[in-house]
């Protein structure tokens, strides 16, 4: 992707994040009250996978790439997780419309941040290895992302708990995975998140290919 397009992409994502915070900052309830405080923090976490993905592609040493890759996988669920924050919508008619816009922008931004970070890593893996390995990564990341959203939303674990309390996270997750039918809500949400995230990624992947083929046909960069 040309430098100019990358810059526009970052600016657009930043503007979407800023608009989300601005809607909360101008809320009569104030920026430290519901819902802006936690939503702004979730937005910060949603930017983490993009930063890790960029570090992954720019690292030269294997240990640095490994660290950035692990960090990317750990933080990736934080991006689509913003979609589930819609569960907090409440308020009277005027407040509700403001919160719908605020949460809507946050969900849109989070999903795009996750998809863009996955696209960056996917392209890098395909370039270094092959297309099959790249798509295996996409499938794995999508599945792990859905699981991460569920254990974050319903089991209330955070990304850093995977580092400081890995056993507890593994035990609670295994209890769900071994009996998915008994946990219909969690399983249903995981499948929906995986489908949503997967479709969003395929859409961006197809648009990326469409743009490349159009530029090739017209002879433009």
pLDDT in tens, 160-217: 787 788 888 888 888 787 777 777 888 899 999 999 999 999 999 998 877 555 555 5
Which segment of 23-32, 65-74, 96-105, 186-195 scores lowest on mean pLDDT? 23-32
**Cβ pair 89, 103 in contact under 8 A:** yes
Res. 3: pLDDT tops 90: no
The domain total for the chain is 1
**Averaged confidence pLDDT in the chain:** 85
Task: Give the residue among 198, 176, 175, 174 at the shortest CA–CA distance from 186.
Answer: 176
Q: Which tokens go with 76?
A: 């990736």
What percentage of the chain carries pLDDT values higher than 90?
Answer: 47
Q: Which domain holds residue 87?
A: 3-218
Task: Give the residue among 202, 88, 206, 81 at the shortest CA–CA distance from 145.
Answer: 81
Kind and range of the H or E run holding 45: helix 36-58
**Cβ pair 73, 145 in contact under 8 A:** no
What are the DSSP calls for 105-121, one per residue? HHHHHHHHHHHHHHHHH
pLDDT band at 116 (very low <50, low <70, confident <90, very high): very high
Burial of 73 (C-beta count, 10 Å sphere; 0-12/13-18/19+): buried
pTM of the model: 0.87
């Amino acid at each position: 992707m040309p430098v100019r397009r990358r810059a526009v992409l970052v600016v657009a994502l930043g503007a979407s994040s800023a608009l989300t915070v601005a809607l909360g900052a101008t809320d009569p309830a104030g920026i430290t009250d519901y819902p802006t405080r936690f939503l702004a923090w979730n937005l910060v976490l949603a930017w983490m996978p993009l930063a890790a993905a960029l570090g992954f592609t720019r690292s030269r040493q294997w240990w640095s790439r490994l660290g950035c890759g692990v960090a990317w996988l750990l933080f990736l669920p934080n991006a689509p997780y913003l979609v589930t924050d819609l569960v907090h919508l409440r308020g009277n008619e005027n407040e509700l419309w403001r919160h719908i816009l605020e949460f809507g922008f946050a969900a849109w931004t989070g999903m795009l941040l996750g998809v863009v970070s996955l696209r960056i890593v996917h392209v890098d893996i395909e370039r270094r290895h092959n297309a099959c390995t790249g798509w295996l990564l996409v499938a794995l990341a999508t599945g792990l992302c859905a699981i991460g959203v569920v254990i974050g939303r319903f089991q209330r674990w955070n990304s850093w708990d995977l580092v400081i309390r890995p056993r507890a996270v593994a035990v609670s997750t295994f209890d769900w995975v071994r009996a998915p039918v008994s946990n219909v809500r969690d399983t249903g949400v995981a499948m929906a998140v995986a489908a949503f995230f997967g479709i969003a990624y395929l859409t961006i992947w197809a648009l990326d290919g469409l743009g490349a083929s159009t530029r090739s046909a017209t002879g433009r960069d």
